[in-house]
Protein backbone atom coordinates (compact mmCIF):
# COMPACT_ATOMS: atom_id res chain seq x y z
CA UNK A 1 0.00 0.00 0.00
CA UNK A 2 1.23 3.50 -0.81
CA UNK A 3 1.50 6.00 1.99
CA UNK A 4 -0.93 8.93 1.68
CA UNK A 5 0.75 11.74 -0.25
CA UNK A 6 -0.28 15.36 -0.71
CA UNK A 7 0.56 17.76 -3.45
CA UNK A 8 1.03 21.10 -1.73
CA UNK A 9 -1.41 23.45 -3.33
CA UNK A 10 -4.60 25.38 -3.10
CA UNK A 11 -7.80 26.50 -4.70
CA UNK A 12 -10.43 29.14 -3.96
CA UNK A 13 -10.81 31.15 -0.82
CA UNK A 14 -13.89 31.10 1.36
CA UNK A 15 -17.24 32.66 0.36
CA UNK A 16 -16.98 35.15 3.18
CA UNK A 17 -13.61 36.35 1.88
CA UNK A 18 -15.38 37.02 -1.38
CA UNK A 19 -18.56 38.81 -0.24
CA UNK A 20 -18.04 39.51 3.46
CA UNK A 21 -20.21 38.28 6.35
CA UNK A 22 -23.21 40.04 7.83
CA UNK A 23 -25.45 42.36 5.82
CA UNK A 24 -23.95 45.46 7.43
CA UNK A 25 -20.42 44.68 6.31
CA UNK A 26 -21.61 43.32 2.96
CA UNK A 27 -23.32 46.68 2.34
CA UNK A 28 -19.90 48.32 2.85
CA UNK A 29 -18.26 46.03 0.24
CA UNK A 30 -17.05 43.64 2.94
CA UNK A 31 -15.12 46.34 4.76
CA UNK A 32 -15.38 47.81 8.24
CA UNK A 33 -12.93 45.61 10.12
CA UNK A 34 -12.64 48.17 12.93
CA UNK A 35 -16.40 48.50 13.55
CA UNK A 36 -17.91 46.44 16.40
CA UNK A 37 -21.07 45.74 14.41
CA UNK A 38 -22.17 42.39 15.80
CA UNK A 39 -21.99 39.07 13.99
CA UNK A 40 -19.85 40.47 11.17
CA UNK A 41 -16.88 40.52 13.55
CA UNK A 42 -17.15 36.88 14.59
CA UNK A 43 -15.35 35.54 11.50
CA UNK A 44 -12.94 38.37 10.73
CA UNK A 45 -12.10 40.49 13.79
CA UNK A 46 -13.10 38.75 17.03
CA UNK A 47 -11.44 41.49 19.08
CA UNK A 48 -14.19 43.91 17.96
CA UNK A 49 -16.74 41.75 19.78
CA UNK A 50 -15.58 43.32 23.06
CA UNK A 51 -17.46 46.49 22.16
CA UNK A 52 -20.95 44.99 21.82
CA UNK A 53 -23.41 46.22 24.49
CA UNK A 54 -26.03 43.45 24.27
CA UNK A 55 -26.36 39.83 23.13
CA UNK A 56 -27.52 39.56 19.53
CA UNK A 57 -28.98 36.91 17.22
CA UNK A 58 -28.98 37.30 13.44
CA UNK A 59 -30.32 35.32 10.48
CA UNK A 60 -29.96 36.31 6.85
CA UNK A 61 -30.37 35.12 3.27
CA UNK A 62 -27.76 35.51 0.51
CA UNK A 63 -27.97 34.87 -3.22
CA UNK A 64 -25.25 35.36 -5.83
CA UNK A 65 -24.66 34.60 -9.51
CA UNK A 66 -22.02 35.23 -12.17
CA UNK A 67 -22.15 36.16 -15.84
CA UNK A 68 -18.77 35.82 -17.58
CA UNK A 69 -18.08 36.43 -21.24
CA UNK A 70 -18.97 33.48 -23.46
CA UNK A 71 -16.12 31.24 -24.59
CA UNK A 72 -15.59 30.21 -28.22
CA UNK A 73 -16.23 26.60 -29.32
CA UNK A 74 -13.31 24.37 -28.30
CA UNK A 75 -11.54 21.35 -29.71
CA UNK A 76 -12.11 18.24 -27.56
CA UNK A 77 -12.48 14.50 -28.00
CA UNK A 78 -16.25 14.85 -27.72
CA UNK A 79 -16.99 11.66 -29.70
CA UNK A 80 -14.56 9.70 -27.47
CA UNK A 81 -12.73 7.93 -30.30
CA UNK A 82 -9.33 8.74 -28.82
CA UNK A 83 -8.48 11.32 -31.50
CA UNK A 84 -9.07 15.08 -31.57
CA UNK A 85 -10.00 16.02 -35.15
CA UNK A 86 -12.67 17.61 -37.30
CA UNK A 87 -14.99 14.66 -36.63
CA UNK A 88 -15.46 15.88 -33.03
CA UNK A 89 -18.41 18.22 -32.45
CA UNK A 90 -17.02 21.41 -30.81
CA UNK A 91 -17.18 21.59 -27.03
CA UNK A 92 -19.46 24.39 -25.79
CA UNK A 93 -18.13 25.28 -22.34
CA UNK A 94 -20.13 27.40 -19.88
CA UNK A 95 -17.67 29.59 -17.93
CA UNK A 96 -20.11 30.72 -15.23
CA UNK A 97 -19.81 29.52 -11.65
CA UNK A 98 -22.83 27.86 -10.06
CA UNK A 99 -25.33 30.24 -8.45
CA UNK A 100 -25.32 30.48 -4.67
CA UNK A 101 -28.27 30.55 -2.28
CA UNK A 102 -27.65 30.28 1.43
CA UNK A 103 -28.38 31.49 4.93
CA UNK A 104 -26.22 33.33 7.43
CA UNK A 105 -26.60 32.63 11.14
CA UNK A 106 -24.80 34.44 13.92
CA UNK A 107 -24.87 35.05 17.65
CA UNK A 108 -22.83 37.30 19.92
CA UNK A 109 -22.87 37.73 23.68
CA UNK A 110 -20.98 39.87 26.22
CA UNK A 111 -19.23 37.85 28.91
CA UNK A 112 -19.14 40.30 31.75
CA UNK A 113 -17.87 43.85 31.40
CA UNK A 114 -14.60 43.08 29.61
CA UNK A 115 -15.18 40.03 27.41
CA UNK A 116 -17.47 38.76 24.66
CA UNK A 117 -17.91 35.81 22.33
CA UNK A 118 -19.48 35.22 18.94
CA UNK A 119 -20.17 32.44 16.42
CA UNK A 120 -21.14 32.63 12.76
CA UNK A 121 -22.28 30.19 10.07
CA UNK A 122 -22.87 30.43 6.33
CA UNK A 123 -24.85 27.47 5.01
CA UNK A 124 -25.45 27.13 1.23
CA UNK A 125 -28.68 25.40 0.25
CA UNK A 126 -27.28 23.49 -2.75
CA UNK A 127 -24.48 21.67 -0.94
CA UNK A 128 -22.40 21.81 2.25
CA UNK A 129 -19.18 21.63 0.29
CA UNK A 130 -18.01 20.54 -3.13
CA UNK A 131 -14.96 18.52 -4.12
CA UNK A 132 -14.08 19.53 -7.65
CA UNK A 133 -10.95 19.60 -9.76
CA UNK A 134 -10.63 21.08 -13.23
CA UNK A 135 -8.87 20.24 -16.48
CA UNK A 136 -6.00 22.70 -17.09
CA UNK A 137 -6.31 22.36 -20.89
CA UNK A 138 -9.75 23.98 -20.75
CA UNK A 139 -10.24 27.72 -20.05
CA UNK A 140 -11.33 28.08 -16.42
CA UNK A 141 -12.08 30.97 -14.05
CA UNK A 142 -10.02 29.28 -11.38
CA UNK A 143 -10.92 31.68 -8.54
CA UNK A 144 -14.69 31.53 -8.90
CA UNK A 145 -15.63 27.86 -8.65
CA UNK A 146 -15.61 26.09 -5.31
CA UNK A 147 -15.02 29.16 -3.19
CA UNK A 148 -18.72 30.04 -2.94
CA UNK A 149 -19.90 26.43 -2.87
CA UNK A 150 -19.18 25.39 0.70
CA UNK A 151 -20.28 26.18 4.23
CA UNK A 152 -18.37 28.59 6.46
CA UNK A 153 -18.31 28.26 10.23
CA UNK A 154 -16.23 29.97 12.88
CA UNK A 155 -16.19 32.22 15.86
CA UNK A 156 -14.05 33.83 18.51
CA UNK A 157 -13.72 35.41 21.92
CA UNK A 158 -12.51 38.86 22.92
CA UNK A 159 -11.06 40.43 26.04
CA UNK A 160 -10.65 44.14 26.76
CA UNK A 161 -7.96 44.79 29.40
CA UNK A 162 -7.91 48.63 29.55
CA UNK A 163 -7.60 51.84 27.58
CA UNK A 164 -9.99 50.79 24.83
CA UNK A 165 -7.67 47.99 23.74
CA UNK A 166 -9.16 44.58 22.98
CA UNK A 167 -7.58 41.27 22.03
CA UNK A 168 -9.36 38.52 20.12
CA UNK A 169 -8.72 34.92 19.19
CA UNK A 170 -10.84 32.59 17.09
CA UNK A 171 -10.86 30.49 13.99
CA UNK A 172 -12.73 28.93 11.10
CA UNK A 173 -13.58 25.28 10.60
CA UNK A 174 -12.41 23.72 7.33
CA UNK A 175 -13.39 20.17 6.27
CA UNK A 176 -10.69 17.73 5.21
CA UNK A 177 -11.15 14.50 3.26
CA UNK A 178 -9.42 11.18 2.65
CA UNK A 179 -10.53 8.68 0.01
CA UNK A 180 -9.34 5.10 -0.52
CA UNK A 181 -10.29 2.55 -3.19
CA UNK A 182 -9.19 -1.10 -3.26
CA UNK A 183 -10.28 -3.50 -5.98
CA UNK A 184 -9.45 -6.20 -8.50
CA UNK A 185 -9.58 -5.81 -12.28
CA UNK A 186 -9.74 -9.05 -14.33
CA UNK A 187 -9.02 -8.94 -18.07
CA UNK A 188 -9.53 -12.23 -19.93
CA UNK A 189 -8.61 -12.65 -23.61
CA UNK A 190 -9.89 -15.80 -25.30
CA UNK A 191 -8.72 -17.19 -28.64
CA UNK A 192 -11.49 -19.77 -28.93
CA UNK A 193 -12.67 -20.14 -32.50
CA UNK A 194 -16.43 -19.92 -32.44
CA UNK A 195 -18.47 -19.14 -35.49
CA UNK A 196 -20.05 -15.71 -35.26
CA UNK A 197 -18.29 -14.89 -32.01
CA UNK A 198 -18.41 -11.19 -31.16
CA UNK A 199 -15.52 -9.17 -29.82
CA UNK A 200 -17.18 -8.75 -26.44
CA UNK A 201 -17.43 -12.54 -26.19
CA UNK A 202 -13.69 -12.97 -26.71
CA UNK A 203 -12.58 -10.27 -24.28
CA UNK A 204 -13.90 -10.25 -20.73
CA UNK A 205 -13.43 -7.34 -18.31
CA UNK A 206 -14.55 -7.52 -14.69
CA UNK A 207 -14.02 -5.01 -11.89
CA UNK A 208 -14.49 -6.15 -8.30
CA UNK A 209 -14.36 -3.25 -5.81
CA UNK A 210 -13.36 -4.62 -2.41
CA UNK A 211 -13.31 -1.44 -0.41
CA UNK A 212 -14.26 2.23 -0.76
CA UNK A 213 -13.64 4.58 2.13
CA UNK A 214 -14.28 8.31 2.46
CA UNK A 215 -13.42 10.20 5.65
CA UNK A 216 -14.37 13.84 6.17
CA UNK A 217 -12.73 15.38 9.23
CA UNK A 218 -12.54 18.88 10.66
CA UNK A 219 -9.64 21.24 10.13
CA UNK A 220 -9.03 24.63 11.71
CA UNK A 221 -7.80 28.02 10.51
CA UNK A 222 -6.64 30.27 13.42
CA UNK A 223 -7.56 33.95 13.68
CA UNK A 224 -5.85 36.55 15.88
CA UNK A 225 -6.95 40.18 16.07
CA UNK A 226 -6.39 43.47 17.84
CA UNK A 227 -8.91 46.32 18.25
CA UNK A 228 -8.45 49.79 19.74
CA UNK A 229 -11.15 52.34 20.52
CA UNK A 230 -8.82 55.33 20.62
CA UNK A 231 -11.30 57.71 22.26
CA UNK A 232 -11.32 55.73 25.51
CA UNK A 233 -7.65 56.48 26.08
CA UNK A 234 -7.32 59.81 24.24
CA UNK A 235 -10.58 61.83 24.40
CA UNK A 236 -9.46 64.00 21.48
CA UNK A 237 -9.58 60.90 19.27
CA UNK A 238 -13.16 60.06 20.17
CA UNK A 239 -14.81 58.26 17.23
CA UNK A 240 -11.59 56.71 15.91
CA UNK A 241 -11.22 52.93 15.97
CA UNK A 242 -8.31 50.89 14.62
CA UNK A 243 -8.00 47.14 14.07
CA UNK A 244 -5.71 44.47 12.72
CA UNK A 245 -6.38 40.78 12.08
CA UNK A 246 -4.33 37.81 10.93
CA UNK A 247 -5.80 34.52 9.76
CA UNK A 248 -3.68 31.46 9.12
CA UNK A 249 -3.95 29.31 6.03
CA UNK A 250 -5.98 26.13 5.90
CA UNK A 251 -7.57 23.96 3.29
CA UNK A 252 -9.25 20.78 2.25
CA UNK A 253 -6.56 18.24 1.37
CA UNK A 254 -8.00 15.24 -0.45
CA UNK A 255 -5.83 12.12 -0.27
CA UNK A 256 -6.85 9.66 -2.98
CA UNK A 257 -5.17 6.26 -2.70
CA UNK A 258 -6.08 3.69 -5.35
CA UNK A 259 -4.99 0.03 -5.15
CA UNK A 260 -5.91 -2.32 -8.00
CA UNK A 261 -4.85 -5.89 -8.61
CA UNK A 262 -5.04 -6.34 -12.39
CA UNK A 263 -5.16 -9.97 -13.51
CA UNK A 264 -4.50 -10.37 -17.24
CA UNK A 265 -5.52 -13.86 -18.39
CA UNK A 266 -5.26 -15.54 -21.82
CA UNK A 267 -7.18 -18.65 -22.87
CA UNK A 268 -7.10 -20.87 -25.97
CA UNK A 269 -4.75 -18.68 -28.03
CA UNK A 270 -3.11 -20.98 -30.60
CA UNK A 271 -0.43 -23.23 -29.19
CA UNK A 272 0.26 -20.91 -26.25
CA UNK A 273 -0.37 -22.19 -22.79
CA UNK A 274 -3.04 -20.48 -20.76
CA UNK A 275 -1.39 -17.63 -18.90
CA UNK A 276 -2.25 -15.44 -15.90
CA UNK A 277 -0.19 -12.27 -15.30
CA UNK A 278 -1.08 -10.54 -12.00
CA UNK A 279 -0.20 -6.86 -11.67
CA UNK A 280 -0.45 -4.74 -8.53
CA UNK A 281 -1.27 -1.20 -9.61
CA UNK A 282 -1.16 1.51 -6.93
CA UNK A 283 -1.09 5.28 -7.20
CA UNK A 284 -1.80 8.35 -5.13
CA UNK A 285 -3.52 11.48 -6.41
CA UNK A 286 -2.79 14.78 -4.71
CA UNK A 287 -5.44 17.50 -4.55
CA UNK A 288 -5.62 20.46 -2.19
CA UNK A 289 -9.12 21.80 -2.58
CA UNK A 290 -10.96 24.71 -0.92
CA UNK A 291 -7.69 26.24 0.24
CA UNK A 292 -8.08 29.28 2.49
CA UNK A 293 -4.95 31.45 2.11
CA UNK A 294 -3.46 33.34 5.01
CA UNK A 295 -4.51 36.99 5.22
CA UNK A 296 -3.33 40.08 7.06
CA UNK A 297 -5.86 42.91 7.33
CA UNK A 298 -5.58 46.37 8.87
CA UNK A 299 -8.46 48.81 9.11
CA UNK A 300 -9.74 52.00 10.61
CA UNK A 301 -13.12 53.62 11.18
CA UNK A 302 -14.06 57.14 12.18
CA UNK A 303 -17.53 58.14 13.38
CA UNK A 304 -18.76 61.73 13.65
CA UNK A 305 -21.50 62.52 16.18
CA UNK A 306 -22.76 58.94 16.11
CA UNK A 307 -24.14 59.73 12.65
CA UNK A 308 -21.60 59.43 9.83
CA UNK A 309 -18.91 56.73 9.67
CA UNK A 310 -16.15 56.18 7.15
CA UNK A 311 -14.13 52.96 7.05
CA UNK A 312 -10.93 51.94 5.27
CA UNK A 313 -9.37 48.47 5.12
CA UNK A 314 -6.33 46.96 3.42
CA UNK A 315 -5.91 43.19 3.13
CA UNK A 316 -2.93 41.14 1.99
CA UNK A 317 -3.76 37.66 0.72
CA UNK A 318 -0.99 35.09 0.26
CA UNK A 319 -2.00 33.81 -3.18
CA UNK A 320 1.70 33.35 -4.01
CA UNK A 321 1.65 30.04 -2.08
CA UNK A 322 -1.24 28.69 -4.09
CA UNK A 323 -1.40 25.86 -6.60
CA UNK A 324 -4.49 24.89 -8.52
CA UNK A 325 -7.19 22.32 -7.80
CA UNK A 326 -5.78 19.94 -10.39
CA UNK A 327 -5.52 16.24 -9.56
CA UNK A 328 -1.97 15.04 -10.11
CA UNK A 329 -0.26 11.68 -9.74
CA UNK A 330 2.31 12.17 -6.98
CA UNK A 331 3.36 8.56 -6.42
CA UNK A 332 2.81 5.29 -8.29
CA UNK A 333 3.93 1.68 -8.43
CA UNK A 334 3.31 -1.26 -10.79
CA UNK A 335 4.48 -4.65 -9.53
CA UNK A 336 4.25 -8.09 -11.13
CA UNK A 337 6.14 -11.33 -11.54
CA UNK A 338 6.99 -10.54 -15.17
CA UNK A 339 7.00 -6.73 -15.01
CA UNK A 340 9.60 -4.20 -13.90
CA UNK A 341 8.64 -0.64 -14.84
CA UNK A 342 10.96 1.11 -12.41
CA UNK A 343 10.12 3.84 -9.91
CA UNK A 344 6.93 5.91 -10.40
CA UNK A 345 6.06 4.46 -13.82
CA UNK A 346 2.77 6.37 -14.21
CA UNK A 347 3.30 9.80 -15.77
CA UNK A 348 0.97 12.59 -14.73
CA UNK A 349 -1.20 13.86 -17.57
CA UNK A 350 -1.90 17.34 -16.14
CA UNK A 351 1.38 19.26 -16.22
CA UNK A 352 1.17 23.00 -15.65
CA UNK A 353 3.36 25.93 -14.61
CA UNK A 354 1.60 28.96 -13.15
CA UNK A 355 3.08 32.00 -11.39
CA UNK A 356 0.93 33.79 -8.80
CA UNK A 357 1.58 36.73 -6.49
CA UNK A 358 0.31 37.93 -3.14
CA UNK A 359 -2.22 40.75 -3.49
CA UNK A 360 -3.11 43.89 -1.57
CA UNK A 361 -6.81 44.73 -1.75
CA UNK A 362 -8.35 47.99 -0.43
CA UNK A 363 -11.90 48.49 0.83
CA UNK A 364 -13.61 51.84 1.47
CA UNK A 365 -17.01 52.21 3.10
CA UNK A 366 -19.40 54.81 4.46
CA UNK A 367 -22.45 54.64 6.70
CA UNK A 368 -24.95 57.41 7.40
CA UNK A 369 -27.58 57.25 10.15
CA UNK A 370 -30.60 59.40 9.26
CA UNK A 371 -32.54 61.32 11.94
CA UNK A 372 -34.89 59.12 14.00
CA UNK A 373 -38.44 58.71 12.72
CA UNK A 374 -41.17 58.41 15.40
CA UNK A 375 -43.22 55.24 14.80
CA UNK A 376 -45.48 54.97 17.83
CA UNK A 377 -45.23 53.13 21.12
CA UNK A 378 -44.81 49.70 19.53
CA UNK A 379 -41.73 50.42 17.39
CA UNK A 380 -40.42 53.52 19.11
CA UNK A 381 -38.04 55.68 17.07
CA UNK A 382 -37.02 54.06 13.78
CA UNK A 383 -33.47 54.83 12.70
CA UNK A 384 -32.60 54.29 9.03
CA UNK A 385 -28.97 53.57 8.13
CA UNK A 386 -27.65 53.87 4.57
CA UNK A 387 -24.36 52.31 3.48
CA UNK A 388 -22.06 52.14 0.51
CA UNK A 389 -18.69 50.67 -0.32
CA UNK A 390 -15.99 50.25 -2.91
CA UNK A 391 -13.28 47.62 -3.27
CA UNK A 392 -10.56 46.56 -5.64
CA UNK A 393 -9.15 43.03 -5.95
CA UNK A 394 -6.10 42.72 -8.22
CA UNK A 395 -5.68 39.37 -9.89
CA UNK A 396 -2.95 37.15 -8.44
CA UNK A 397 -2.32 35.58 -11.87
CA UNK A 398 1.06 36.69 -13.23
CA UNK A 399 1.89 34.17 -15.97
CA UNK A 400 1.27 30.64 -17.20
CA UNK A 401 2.58 28.33 -19.87
CA UNK A 402 0.66 26.86 -22.80
CA UNK A 403 -0.26 23.77 -20.76
CA UNK A 404 -3.03 25.69 -18.97
CA UNK A 405 -5.70 28.27 -19.73
CA UNK A 406 -6.51 29.95 -16.41
CA UNK A 407 -8.77 32.99 -16.71
CA UNK A 408 -8.84 35.95 -14.35
CA UNK A 409 -8.53 39.76 -14.26
CA UNK A 410 -8.66 42.63 -11.78
CA UNK A 411 -12.03 42.90 -10.07
CA UNK A 412 -13.77 46.10 -8.93
CA UNK A 413 -16.51 45.89 -6.33
CA UNK A 414 -19.38 48.31 -5.63
CA UNK A 415 -21.88 47.85 -2.79
CA UNK A 416 -24.99 49.50 -1.40
CA UNK A 417 -26.90 48.76 1.78
CA UNK A 418 -29.79 50.02 3.87
CA UNK A 419 -31.01 49.14 7.34
CA UNK A 420 -33.75 50.05 9.75
CA UNK A 421 -33.33 49.81 13.52
CA UNK A 422 -36.36 49.93 15.81
CA UNK A 423 -37.62 48.90 19.23
CA UNK A 424 -38.55 45.26 19.74
CA UNK A 425 -42.37 45.43 19.48
CA UNK A 426 -42.73 42.50 21.92
CA UNK A 427 -40.52 44.05 24.61
CA UNK A 428 -41.47 47.74 24.52
CA UNK A 429 -40.29 48.55 28.05
CA UNK A 430 -36.69 47.45 27.38
CA UNK A 431 -33.80 48.98 25.45
CA UNK A 432 -33.39 45.95 23.19
CA UNK A 433 -33.60 46.69 19.45
CA UNK A 434 -34.36 44.88 16.21
CA UNK A 435 -32.70 45.65 12.88
CA UNK A 436 -33.43 44.67 9.29
CA UNK A 437 -30.58 45.16 6.79
CA UNK A 438 -30.33 44.59 3.06
CA UNK A 439 -27.37 44.78 0.71
CA UNK A 440 -26.45 44.59 -2.96
CA UNK A 441 -23.01 43.99 -4.50
CA UNK A 442 -21.80 44.32 -8.10
CA UNK A 443 -18.40 42.84 -8.99
CA UNK A 444 -16.99 43.90 -12.37
CA UNK A 445 -14.21 41.79 -13.85
CA UNK A 446 -11.89 43.79 -16.14
CA UNK A 447 -11.98 42.88 -19.83
CA UNK A 448 -9.04 41.08 -21.37
CA UNK A 449 -8.08 37.92 -23.22
CA UNK A 450 -5.86 34.88 -23.03
CA UNK A 451 -4.23 34.05 -26.35
CA UNK A 452 -2.67 30.58 -26.57
CA UNK A 453 -2.11 30.85 -30.31
CA UNK A 454 -3.60 28.76 -33.09
CA UNK A 455 -2.03 25.28 -33.46
CA UNK A 456 -1.66 23.83 -36.96
CA UNK A 457 -3.85 20.82 -36.11
CA UNK A 458 -6.89 20.41 -33.83
CA UNK A 459 -5.62 20.44 -30.24
CA UNK A 460 -7.66 19.72 -27.11
CA UNK A 461 -8.75 22.85 -25.28
CA UNK A 462 -7.93 25.33 -28.06
CA UNK A 463 -10.54 27.44 -29.83
CA UNK A 464 -11.80 25.88 -33.05
CA UNK A 465 -11.30 29.16 -34.95
CA UNK A 466 -7.96 29.89 -33.25
CA UNK A 467 -9.39 32.90 -31.41
CA UNK A 468 -8.23 34.07 -28.00
CA UNK A 469 -10.37 33.38 -24.93
CA UNK A 470 -12.23 36.52 -23.82
CA UNK A 471 -11.98 37.46 -20.14
CA UNK A 472 -14.48 39.61 -18.28
CA UNK A 473 -18.00 39.78 -16.95
CA UNK A 474 -19.67 40.49 -13.66
CA UNK A 475 -20.98 38.93 -10.46
CA UNK A 476 -24.03 39.98 -8.48
CA UNK A 477 -24.84 39.33 -4.83
CA UNK A 478 -27.79 40.45 -2.72
CA UNK A 479 -29.32 39.56 0.59
CA UNK A 480 -31.27 40.53 3.67
CA UNK A 481 -30.65 40.01 7.39
CA UNK A 482 -32.76 40.25 10.53
CA UNK A 483 -31.09 40.74 13.90
CA UNK A 484 -32.38 40.95 17.43
CA UNK A 485 -30.81 42.10 20.67
CA UNK A 486 -31.95 39.78 23.42
pLDDT single digits (tens) 200-219: 444 566 666 666 676 666 67
Residue 85: the pLDDT is 87
Residue 6: the pLDDT is 28
Which residues of the chain carry a pLDDT beneath 50?
Answer: 1-13, 195, 197-202
Long-range pairs of 318-321 with CB within 8 A, sequence gap ≥ 24: 318/249, 318/293, 318/294, 318/358, 319/293, 319/356, 319/357, 319/358, 319/359, 319/396, 320/356, 320/357, 320/358, 320/396, 321/10, 321/249, 321/293, 321/294
Terminal alpha carbon distance of the chain: 56
Residue 228: the pLDDT is 94
Residue 309: the pLDDT is 96
Residue 7: the pLDDT is 28
Q: What angle do CA 179, 182, 183 make, to 5 degrees?
A: 140
Give me the CATH code for the 15-174+219-248+295-315+336-485 domain, please: 2.40.160.60
Residue 460: the pLDDT is 86
pTM beyond 0.85, yes or no? no
Residue 392: the pLDDT is 96
d(CA 431, CA 152): 32
d(CA 168, CA 45): 7
d(CA 393, CA 360): 8
Residue 242: the pLDDT is 95
How far from the centroid of its chain's Cα atoms is residue 79's Cα?
A: 33
Amino acid sequence: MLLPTLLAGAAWASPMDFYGFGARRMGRAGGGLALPDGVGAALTDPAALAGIPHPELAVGFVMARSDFKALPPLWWDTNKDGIVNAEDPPLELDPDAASVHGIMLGATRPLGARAAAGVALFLPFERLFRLQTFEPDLPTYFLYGNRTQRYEMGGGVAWRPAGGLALGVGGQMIPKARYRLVGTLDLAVSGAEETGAQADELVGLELDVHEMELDVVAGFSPNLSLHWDAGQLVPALDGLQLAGAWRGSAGLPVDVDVELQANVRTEDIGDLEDLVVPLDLAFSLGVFDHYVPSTLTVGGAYTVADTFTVTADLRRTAWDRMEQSIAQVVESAVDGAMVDLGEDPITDGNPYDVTLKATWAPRLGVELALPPIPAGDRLGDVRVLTRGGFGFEPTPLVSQTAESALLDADRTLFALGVGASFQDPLRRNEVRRMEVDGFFQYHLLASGRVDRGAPATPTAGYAVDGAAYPVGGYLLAAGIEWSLQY
